[in-house]
Chain A
């Protein structure tokens, strides 16, 4: 009985891939059969002890799980909160993305595919995929927007070193969404031998479910760790949301712990009335890249270009499970803009000696707002990645604002 009561799984998505009214499979017919193939292969792999054992061993020995739950003493003192950081930034390749890449690459192997393709925004997912592809001997092509290639050149070079081919995408806004379109086009063309390793909890069913399942290790570990350290559950969970994979990974295992508040932090970019990536806050219901969810779109149903200083959040859509959590009020979604994210970035670097990814910096900054209304509460933050990849962006941003200040003086 007791173990049943502790069971945290909720039954979403349903058989058709819906989380409430969100999700589904809105894809060209050519892909239908591969999604069905993927779905049944995944169901089989989940049952396979060998699959699970192999994956667990790589997560532990290769990727570096479990990651620590670190009590950030100075940050806590600064905010007058109890702040715990789930250190996904310490994983191999520097972000939570490796959890999903390992899981899906083993699935691709299980399915007998020879080639892996992926989209990438910041390059973190691309690097994680290129890494596993080299480990498991897959041919690997990564689609990346031209604009992202320019602003994340180090990650591009990393992927090349790992033996992947990086294909520049010059259509549309030249960022993550267009890389995603191009990866779909490749997949439609090469369905038979190619596995599309989607990097977030977006896209058609079963991707939002598969990616969540491979990421929920974050929340499972964190739940055990916080119980061990604090003897109780935290008051709130905080994570950044682009597509939303690190956030769902953290939230999902706490779903039935009703007293634990979920806070998803979206990127307000230049501001909520300008270019941003806040799909849950500013988007409307729509169908984009395979699923029904909130989308940044104009009144004609054309998808808008997103913006965030964090390339990994720079996406006009969001995972259907987040849309569901919002609709049933299980999670609250808030926003942090570019300059605030930079503040969060600096704060964690200076106080704790941890350089966070710009994506995770959004979550760090939001602690300030939590502190205002909830003094002394325990906040568990997913530090989804490390910030080495963002140093160029930070340098450029700082130089720009310095020049601005000089001029205004």
Chain B
């Protein structure tokens, strides 16, 4: 399923998107498949699948710890593509690849996009690839019909916001606060006015991420956004419970509390 179909469906159902982030390979490459399925079953609308990178400079301690472990367990891009080969027919929700630039650059952009396309993955976002460096990336992504998701942050100027919006497809990832990933308290008033400013310049859905980990935050943000992205909260839960026998059912239960 593509992101625009997903958002159309959500609009019809009068719901907001719940986007869950998990890094591939955490706590090990074999378990990612089951985790993604559990998230789908628990009502997650879109999964953002992270490709671990050795130097994640926009991530806080929770995701740093998870991606370090994933790399130790041998998580690679090839491994991710292998696991998802088996998954592509049974997965109903859109998958967004999220990573840092170097692993993709090293793999080769066209090669990477082609494989994504063949596996039915339709969207990508790269943390350290701002608009200025994206010309070639966007061109190649379009060739394989991939959506390119860019970030807008509280420090993004109005002129820049417009430029970013024109190159964004799927949705815009609004970063709630200046800072790295991980639980935070949020300023809803400024958040709301910033989202409104973006919505004045584009019709693309705007989803909010960074710092969101509790149900009441989600409800407040969804009053003015098209959805939320929860990363560190889910990753922390996985970290605390993956050794349990009933881990997947616990994960579903936890996630349902956030999505329902």
On whether the two chains bind one another, the answer is: yes
Residues of A with Cβ closer than 8 Å to B?
Answer: 16, 24-30, 32-34, 171-172, 177-178, 181, 184-185, 188-192, 284, 286-290, 295, 297, 299-303
Asked if A29 and B150 sit within 8 Å, CB to CB, the answer is yes
- Set A188, A192, A284, A300: member contacting B180, Cβ < 8 A: A188
Q: Can you list 16 A-B contacts (CB < 8 A)?
A: A26-B129, A26-B130, A27-B130, A28-B151, A29-B130, A29-B156, A30-B155, A32-B131, A172-B55, A181-B57, A185-B58, A188-B57, A189-B179, A297-B102, A302-B53, A302-B71
- Complex contacts, A172 vs chain B, CB 8 Å: 54-55, 68
Asked if A303 and B55 sit within 8 Å, CB to CB, the answer is yes
Q: How far is the CA of A340 from the CA of B64 in the complex (A)?
A: 37
Q: How far is the CA of A171 from the CA of B60 in the complex (A)?
A: 11
Q: How far is the CA of A27 from the CA of B130 in the complex (A)?
A: 6
Asked if B133 and A30 sit within 8 Å, CB to CB, the answer is no
Asked if B156 and A301 sit within 8 Å, CB to CB, the answer is no
Q: How far is the CA of A215 from the CA of B130 in the complex (A)?
A: 29
* Total contacting residues, chain B, CB less than 8 A: 41
Q: How far is the CA of A192 from the CA of B178 in the complex (A)?
A: 9
Given the known inter-chain contacts A26-B133, A27-B128, please indicate yes or no for A289 contacting B155, CB distance below 8 A.
Answer: no
Q: How far is the CA of A295 from the CA of B132 in the complex (A)?
A: 22
Stretch of B39-47, B104-112, B241-249 at the chain-chain interface: B104-112
Asked if B105 and A301 sit within 8 Å, CB to CB, the answer is yes
Given the known inter-chain contacts A181-B57, A286-B106, please indicate yes or no for A28 contacting B128, CB distance below 8 A.
Answer: yes
Q: Which residue of A lies closest to B104 (CB)?
A: A301
Q: How far is the CA of A181 from the CA of B63 in the complex (A)?
A: 14
Asked if B58 and A28 sit within 8 Å, CB to CB, the answer is yes
- Complex contacts, B101 vs chain A, CB 8 Å: 26, 287
| Minimum-distance CB pairs A-B, first 5 | A301-B106, A301-B103, A29-B151, A189-B179, A33-B155
B106, B151, B152 — which one has the most chain A CB atoms within 10 A of its CB? B106
Asked if B54 and A303 sit within 8 Å, CB to CB, the answer is yes
Q: Which residue of B lies closest to A29 (CB)?
A: B151
Asked if B107 and A301 sit within 8 Å, CB to CB, the answer is yes
Asked if A32 and B130 sit within 8 Å, CB to CB, the answer is yes
Asked if B106 and A299 sit within 8 Å, CB to CB, the answer is yes
Q: In the complex, which residues 88-111 of chain B have their Cβ closer than 8 Å to any Cβ of chain A?
A: 101-107
Q: How far is the CA of A36 from the CA of B59 in the complex (A)?
A: 22
Given the known inter-chain contacts A181-B57, A189-B179, A191-B178, please indicate yes or no for A286 contacting B105, CB distance below 8 A.
Answer: yes
Q: How far is the CB of A208 from chain B (nearest CB, A)?
A: 15
Q: How far is the CB of B71 from chain A (nearest CB, A)?
A: 6
Q: How far is the CA of A36 from the CA of B160 in the complex (A)?
A: 11
- Complex contacts, A30 vs chain B, CB 8 Å: 58, 151, 153-155, 175, 178-179
Asked if B132 and A25 sit within 8 Å, CB to CB, the answer is yes
Asked if A288 and B58 sit within 8 Å, CB to CB, the answer is no
Q: How far is the CB of A406 from chain B (nearest CB, A)?
A: 38
Q: A29-B164, A190-B178 are in contact. List 11 more A-B contacts (CB 8 A).
A: A25-B132, A26-B129, A27-B130, A29-B151, A32-B155, A33-B160, A171-B64, A172-B54, A288-B102, A300-B77, A300-B107
- Complex contacts, B152 vs chain A, CB 8 Å: 29
Residues of B with Cβ closer than 8 Å to A?
Answer: 53-58, 60-61, 64, 68, 71, 76-77, 101-107, 127-133, 150-157, 160, 164, 175, 178-180
The count of A-to-B residue pairs whose CB atoms sit within 8 angstroms is 114
Q: How far is the CB of A19 from chain B (nearest CB, A)?
A: 15
Q: How far is the CB of A248 from chain B (nearest CB, A)?
A: 23
Q: How far is the CA of A35 from the CA of B235 in the complex (A)?
A: 31
Asked if B55 and A289 sit within 8 Å, CB to CB, the answer is yes
Given the known inter-chain contacts A34-B155, A301-B105, please indicate yes or no for A29 contacting B179, CB distance below 8 A.
Answer: no
Asked if B179 and A24 sit within 8 Å, CB to CB, the answer is no
Q: How far is the CA of A303 from the CA of B67 in the complex (A)?
A: 13
Asked if B155 and A287 sit within 8 Å, CB to CB, the answer is no
Q: How far is the CA of A286 from the CA of B54 in the complex (A)?
A: 13
Q: How far is the CA of A286 from the CA of B179 in the complex (A)?
A: 25
- Complex contacts, B157 vs chain A, CB 8 Å: 33
Q: How far is the CA of A28 from the CA of B55 in the complex (A)?
A: 13
Q: Which residue of B lies closest to A27 (CB)?
A: B128
Asked if B133 and A28 sit within 8 Å, CB to CB, the answer is no
- Complex contacts, B150 vs chain A, CB 8 Å: 29
Q: How far is the CA of A109 from the CA of B189 in the complex (A)?
A: 32
Q: How far is the CA of A30 from the CA of B157 in the complex (A)?
A: 11
Q: Which residue of A lies closest to B56 (CB)?
A: A181
Given the known inter-chain contacts A184-B57, A288-B55, please indicate yes or no for A29 contacting B76, CB distance below 8 A.
Answer: no
Q: How far is the CB of B28 from chain A (nearest CB, A)?
A: 17
Q: How far is the CA of A172 from the CA of B153 in the complex (A)?
A: 27
- Set A190, A289, A300: member contacting B76, Cβ < 8 A: A300
- Set B64, B102, B127: member contacting A286, Cβ < 8 A: B102
Q: How far is the CA of A180 from the CA of B164 in the complex (A)?
A: 27
Given the known inter-chain contacts A189-B179, A287-B101, A303-B102, please indicate yes or no for A32 contacting B55, CB distance below 8 A.
Answer: no
- Complex contacts, B132 vs chain A, CB 8 Å: 16, 24-25, 32
Q: Which residue of A lies closest to B60 (CB)?
A: A185
Asked if B102 and A32 sit within 8 Å, CB to CB, the answer is no
Q: Which residue of A lies closest to B53 (CB)?
A: A302
Q: How far is the CB of A18 from chain B (nearest CB, A)?
A: 10
Asked if B55 and A287 sit within 8 Å, CB to CB, the answer is no
- Complex contacts, B154 vs chain A, CB 8 Å: 30
Q: How far is the CA of A171 from the CA of B103 in the complex (A)?
A: 20
Q: How far is the CA of A27 from the CA of B127 in the complex (A)?
A: 7
Q: Which residue of A lies closest to B180 (CB)?
A: A185
Given the known inter-chain contacts A171-B64, A184-B57, A287-B101, please indicate yes or no for A191 contacting B155, CB distance below 8 A.
Answer: yes
Q: How far is the CA of A177 from the CA of B178 in the complex (A)?
A: 22
Q: Which residue of B lies closest to A30 (CB)?
A: B153
- Set A33, A289, A295, A302: member contacting B57, Cβ < 8 A: A289
Q: Which residue of A lies closest to B184 (CB)?
A: A189
Asked if A32 and B160 sit within 8 Å, CB to CB, the answer is yes
Q: How far is the CA of A116 from the CA of B164 in the complex (A)?
A: 30
Asked if A33 and B180 sit within 8 Å, CB to CB, the answer is no
